[in-house]
Every structure is written in structure tokens, then in C-alpha cells.
């Protein structure tokens, strides 16, 4: 089952849903991208499929759409809120989500990594991290909580407050990735892990995921609500 949207492609076969982003040079996250990503997850959930989310060659995503972010604070916070709701959905999705990180992952690209069940990166001169503070944005509450939930304390400070960017190798230590492979091995590795994950009892997987992340999900809900009327 293949369904083409404008900025997101979905291929579902044998209980594996391959979802890929394709929005310009940096795979910017816009309202339309979030809407299509949610539609893609709807299709995966309906098919009871393990998800592999990927970008294009060299980049997963460079973050939110700058045109929207620079329009006004209201527009920026509306986009950030929708993006946070999407990554919160990732963290509570009924089926495993693997991110195949095709290269750079910056700002919202990094948060997508922090919200997946398993993350595979590629070797190469790529940068992964949260650059909000470096470009003049005070980190939003939901972003802080996403980072706090997955990153060791020393890397949390270096990433969130100092906007440090990491190589793929260091991104494993920082909590953004679980393993790295050669670029030509990325999708085959992701499919291998997805095939292994298909053997899980999905009722038990989802039930355990919600139990393990319950406190975090409650914190995220409060953070998203606070951000919706806040500023950057």
C-alpha cells in the first residue's frame, strides 16, 4: 500500500510503514508537514505497522519552517505547539517507531530523534543537536522536557543551554541515536530492526510504553499547554 502526499511519502508493506519527509533543501517542518506526518501515522496505526521514519539523503530535518517562525510570535508558537503534539504522539504511539536519520538532524529534527523508540544514524560529517539558543530562541518548555527525558544530564546542559552540536558518534552518547551505520546500510538496518520488532506482542509493547512514560507524558501535556500561550 503506497500513498503519496505532497511532502510526506508513505509505503506500507508486510506490517512495516516507511514514512519519508521531502520538503525542500532542509526538510523544514511546516504545518503541512505535521498534518501529513499525522496522516501517515494514522495509516500506520490502521495497518498495525512498525514505523520507519526517514528524511532525504544527507538530512532528516533542519527544524521548523523559518518563514512561519519569523512571521510573528503567535505564528511561531502555533507551529511549535503542533510540532510538540506530534512528537508527544510519537512517544505514545501503539506500535514501535524507528527513525532512520539520513544525515543532519537539527532543532525539531533532533526532537524527532528524542521521541522515537529506536534511532539509527549514518557515518559522515553530519551535525545532530538543538541549536535554538544559538539562533536566538529561548527553548520552549516541551523541548526542554523532551531533552531532559532522553539525554544524560551533562549532555542535556551542553545541548539545551549551550546549543552544542554533535557528530553522529557523539550523538549516541548524548542520547539522540542508538547506533550508526554506513549510509548505504541505513535502510536495510532499519528494516532488519523493524522486522525484529514485528515479533513483539504489540498490546504488551503499547501498555508497557504508556506505563513507563506516563509521568513524562503528563509533564509534556502541561509543557505543551504552557507553550501555547508563551514565547520563544
How far apart, in Å, are the Cα atoms of 45 and each of 92, 113, 231?
12, 20, 33
- Per CATH, the number for 2-183+200-228 is 3.90.226.10
Interval 179-208: pLDDT, tens = 999 999 999 999 999 999 999 999 999 999
Three-class secondary structure of residue 128 per DSSP? strand
Where does residue 39 rank: exposed (0-12), middle (13-18), buried (19+ CB within 10 A)? middle
Interval 136-164: pLDDT, tens = 999 999 999 999 999 999 999 999 999 99
Per-residue pLDDT 10s for the chain (232 aa) are 555 689 999 999 999 999 999 999 999 999 999 999 999 999 999 999 999 999 999 999 999 998 999 999 999 999 999 999 999 999 999 999 999 999 999 999 999 999 999 999 999 999 999 999 999 999 999 999 999 999 999 999 999 999 999 999 999 999 999 999 999 999 999 999 999 999 999 999 999 999 999 999 999 999 999 999 888 7
Amino acid at each position: 500500500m503506497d500513498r503519496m502526499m505532497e511532502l510526506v511519502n508513505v509505503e506500507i508493506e508486510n506490517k512495516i510503514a516507511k514514512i519519508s519527509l521531502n520538503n525542500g533543501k532542509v526538510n523544514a517542518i511546516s504545518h503541512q508537514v505535521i498534518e501529513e506526518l499525522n496522516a501517515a501515522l494514522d495509516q500506520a496505526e490502521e495497518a498495525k505497522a512498525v514505523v520507519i521514519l526517514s528524511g532525504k539523503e544527507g538530512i532528516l530535518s533542519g527544524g521548523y519552517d523559518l518563514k512561519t517562525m519569523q512571521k510573528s510570535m503567535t505564528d511561531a508558537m502555533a507551529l511549535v505547539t503542533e510540532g510538540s503534539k506530534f512528537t508527544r504522539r510519537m512517544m505514545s504511539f501503539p506500535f514501535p517507531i524507528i527513525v532512520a536519520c539520513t544525515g543532519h538532524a537539527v532543532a525539531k529534527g533532533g526532537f524527532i530523534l528524542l521521541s522515537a523508540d529506536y534511532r539509527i544514524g549514518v557515518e559522515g560529517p553530519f551535525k545532530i543537536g538543538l541549536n535554538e539558543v544559538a539562533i536566538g530562541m529561548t527553548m520552549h518548555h516541551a523541548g526542554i522536557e523532551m531533552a531532559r527525558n532522553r539525554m544524560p544530564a551533562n549532555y542535556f546542559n551542553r545541548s539545551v543551554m549551550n546549543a552544542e552540536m554533535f557528530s553522529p558518534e557523539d550523538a549516541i552518547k548524548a542520547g539522540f541515536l542508538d547506533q550508526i551505520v554506513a549510509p548505504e546500510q541505513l535502510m536495510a538496518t532499519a528494516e532488519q530492526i523493524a522486522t525484529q520488532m514485528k515479533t513483539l506482542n504489540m498490546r504488551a509493547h503499547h501498555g508497557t510504553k504508556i506505563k513507563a512514560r506516563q509521568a513524562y507524558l503528563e509533564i509534556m501535556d502541561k509543557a505543551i499547554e504552557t507553550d501555547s500561550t508563551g514565547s520563544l
